[in-house]
Amino acid sequence: MHKKPNILLIYTGGTIGMIKNFETGALSNFNFDDLLKHIPELKLLDCEIDTHSFDSPIDSSNMNPEYWKQLVTIIEDGYNDFDGFVVLHGSDTMSYTASALSFMLENLAKPVLFTGSQLPIGDLRTDAKENLITTIQLASQRGKDGPVIKEVGLYFEYKLYRANRTTKINAEHFEAFASLNYPALAESGVHLDIDKRALLKVGKDTVLKVHKELESNIVLVKMFPGITKETITHIFSYQGMKGLVLETYGSGNLTTEPWFLDALKGLLKRNIPVINITQCAGGSVAMGHYETSTAMKKMGIISGKDITTEAAITKLMYLLKQDIPVSEFKHAFETSLRGEMS
């Protein structure tokens, strides 16, 4: 172990790293090497900080699996040299990236904590400083057996969450994220209060396994009353589709109209896994609870239980590249891999 925790701060882009040009009023990315100049408080932290910036930082709306690959490679390359990783990322797709990384980094035994902000770091009322400083402090926490947090987390507005449990819920409030189906891992008040019972338990002497291949040919359909047979037929006939995530109502309920159920059966015949997740922000799918989900249960539709849309999408992308036989895919998806479902 190093004397002081050694943290790698990775900058991908997003509002946090933008600075207002006082003449033009426009927001642009600042030179990441100047970070210390903008946040002199970082020097007061009891850890060493190294930085790594994407060559061209991006607004996270442009995020994609190629960038996720870049990110896990940076973490893989620095894994033995650093005690923890802090990723600065735009808030718009942060939950997707952080969920994806939770699956791509198997046997993670160090903290990989995401944060960002709603206002740029140079703004007088910025939320960036608190988010950044506390995230670095959380990533630096060490116990007897090394880092306290051994999973991918997301810190925003005084709370650290398990990343694959989060969703961006507000485009304006500083409290931009929620984790409705799992408690916060830590809260920042006068003290940094880490809920050790909520943290992911990691086996001793685990070796990091990095998965870089993800399947992007998947489809997400959000149901709404009135969706037409033509629309569904058109989407489901896409021959490249490798998997479908279906956002259904309430506890996993759906229209019982025969044309829709037949369309689902058609996908299953083509060995395309179909995941049932709920449109509700909180709670779980429970197929069979209502008659409107019984047919799906009988058919062998996969239950996403209480998973978020972000985690369902990225878990599906990950599992589809794991060479899992069709007969075992349902079991594999319904098993919690990184604490993403209850």
| List of residues contacting ligand ASP (CB under 6 A) | 13-15, 59-61, 90-92, 116, 118
* Dist. CA 138–CA 6, nearest whole Å: 12
Nearer Cβ to ligand ASP, position 92 or 310? 92
Output 59 or 334, the one with its CB closest to ligand ASP. Answer: 59
Give least dist CB 123 to ligand ASP, A. 12
The vertex-277 CA angle with 313 and 118, nearest 5°, equals 60
Q: What residue number has its CB nearest to ligand ASP?
A: 90
Q: Which residue has the tokens 């759906």?
A: 254
Bridge partner residues of 178 (DSSP): 167
CB of 134 to ligand ASP, least distance (A): 17
Q: Which is nearer to ligand ASP, 91 or 314 (CB)?
A: 91
Nearer Cβ to ligand ASP, position 114 or 182? 114
Nearest distance in Å: CB 35, ligand ASP: 16
Our CB check for ligand ASP shows the closer of 92 and 306 to be 92
Q: At what angle do helices 65-78 and 94-104 cross, to 10 degrees?
A: 50
Least Å distance, CB 167 to ligand ASP, is 14
Q: Exactly one of 15, 97, 167, 314 is catalytic; which is it? A: 15
Is residue 135 part of the annotated active site? The answer reads: no
Please state the closest distance from residue 121 (CB atom) to ligand ASP, in A. Answer: 11
Say which amino acid occupies 229: K
Catalytically active residues are: 15
